[in-house]
Amino acid sequence: MDRYRSRSPNSSHNNQQSPCKRERDNSGRGHGESPSNHQRWSGSDPGQSPLISRALSTRRELYERDFPLYKQPVEVGCFSLDSERKFFNDSRQMRYYVEPDQNPSFDLSDGYKDRFIKRDESVKEKLDHILRWVVANRSKLNSRAAAASSCALDVDFVTWRGHLTKLLTTPYETREGWLLAVTRFRGTLYISEVETEAARRERENRAERHKEMMYWGYKFEQYTCADNAHGLPDPSGVVNTNEAFCTVVQTRLADHRLLFSGEVDCRDKDPNAPAPPACYVELKTSAETCTSKQRSNLHRFKLLKWWAQSFLPGVPRVVAGFRDQDGVVVSVETFHISKISHLIKNEYNCWKPTVCMNFCCDFLSFVKRVVTEDSQSVVYLFSWEPHRDVTYSVHKDSQYSFLPLWYVEEMTRSPDAHHPS
C-alpha cells in the first residue's frame, strides 16, 4: 500500500535546519546549507570533496526534527530455516499465536537442561540467508528501470532488520558499540554486521545464569505458539533455536529504498487477520514491574528496542510475558506499537522515535555518500562506540568481505538466464 507513516507525536516542530543537508562546496554550488553540518561530518580528509566527510555525530539534539517519511512496509516474501539452519523459500516454520491466560504461571526454565538445542553463535552467517532469498526471487526485485541500468536490484540497501534496529537505537545506546560492513555491488549497498571484540568476549564468557535467561525468551514462544492455526502449543517439546521464520519486506525511508529481512515469532491465527506483516506478533519476556520506578525503566529502556524492532517491518504488536525472579511468567501484556509513543511521552528525558528514525536516515545518507567504489571485494567498515562519532575505514580483499562468490556470480548473470530452483 503506497502510503506513508504519520508523523510521530514526539516530532519537533521548530525551525531547526535538517542536519542531513550538505554544505556548499568552495565554488558555492551547494545542495543546501546547514549550520550544524560541520558538527556532524567532522574531520574531512584534505584530499576529499567537502561533501564527503569522515565522521557522523550521534548527538540526539541534531536529529530532533520532523519525523521522516517512512513508507508502509510491504512483505515481498518470506523464508524458513529448519532445525539444521537449512534455507527454504517458503513459510514452513511459521507459527500461530495462542493467547495465554492473564496469569499463566509458565515455568521458563523447563527443558533448559534436557530439551534445548542451541544455535552455534560462533558461526557467522552474515547476509547469506537473505542473499539466498534474493537469488530465488530475483524476478520480484527487477524493474525495467533496474534492467536498463547497472543496478541489479531495484533497491538501495539490503540488510537484516536487526542491523537497522541497532541504528535506530544508537542515539540512546550507552553500553554497546557496533561494526557495520558495507559493500556496494551493482548499485546496491549491502550492510552486514561484524562482531566487535567486546561482543565476542561477552559471548564467550557468559555466566550460566545469563545463558539460562536467554533461553527463557525462546521458552515463552513455545508456551504461546502452535504449529498450525487450529493447534495448541506443546511446551513438552524441544526448543531448537536453529529454526526460524523470516519475513522479507520492502519499504522506503525518505529517499532510501530498503529491502530487509527479520525473524518473526508468530502470526495471528484468525483467518480474517490482515495480510502480513500486519498479522505478525512479536513475543518478549521481561522482569515483572512492581513499582513505578520499574515501570518507568521499562518505558525508557526496553520499549525503545521493542518499538524499533517491530516498527521497522510493520509488526503492530508486542506481547510481553512478565516473569518473577525464578523465571515464572506471572502476567501477560500486549503493547501496540502505534501507542508506544503515547506511553512514553510523560517520562523524563525519554527516547524519541523521531530522533531514532532521523539518525537512521542520516546514517544511510552518509553511507551513500561515502561508499563510492562498486566492488564485491571492497568493504567500508563503519564503526561506533557510545559517546563517539561514527567513523569508517576502507578494506580491499580483507577478512571483512562478506558477499559470497556464488551470489556475485548469480547476480552478474543476465536475468534472462536465471532459472530459480
- DSSP of 26-57, one letter per residue? TTS--S---TTHHHHS----TTS-TT--SEE-
Average pLDDT over residues 415-420: 53
Looking at the predicted structure, is the pLDDT value of residue 157 above 80? yes
Give the predicted TM-score (pTM) of the model.
Answer: 0.87
> What percent of the chain stands above pLDDT 70?
84
Q: Which grid cell sits at 325?
A: 525472579
> What percent of the chain stands above pLDDT 90?
80
pLDDT per residue over 12-53, tens digit each?
A: 434 343 343 333 233 333 333 333 333 333 333 333 444 457
Average pLDDT over residues 82-88: 98
Average pLDDT over residues 153-167: 97
The residue among 167, 161, 197, 198 whose CA lies nearest residue 180 is 167
Q: Which grid cell sits at 126?
A: 552474515
Q: How many CA atoms lie within 13 A of 81 on its CB side?
A: 22
The pLDDT mean for the chain works out to 88
* pLDDT at residue 3 in the model: 35
* pLDDT at residue 141 in the model: 81
Looking at the predicted structure, is the pLDDT value of residue 128 above 60? yes
* 3-class secondary structure, 191: strand
Band of the pLDDT at 413, cuts 50, 70, 90? confident
pLDDT per residue over 347-366, tens digit each?
A: 999 999 999 999 999 999 99
d(CA 144, CA 139): 11
* pLDDT at residue 50 in the model: 40
Regarding predicted confidence, which is higher, 199 or 43?
199
* pLDDT at residue 151 in the model: 66
* pLDDT at residue 95 in the model: 98
Q: Output b/e per residue, 214-225; b: 16+ Cβ within 10 A.
A: ebbbbbbbbbbb
Average pLDDT over residues 288-308: 96
pLDDT per residue over 219-275, tens digit each?
A: 999 999 999 999 999 999 999 999 999 999 999 999 999 999 999 999 999 999 999
* pLDDT at residue 143 in the model: 59
* pLDDT at residue 53 in the model: 77
Average pLDDT over residues 302-310: 98
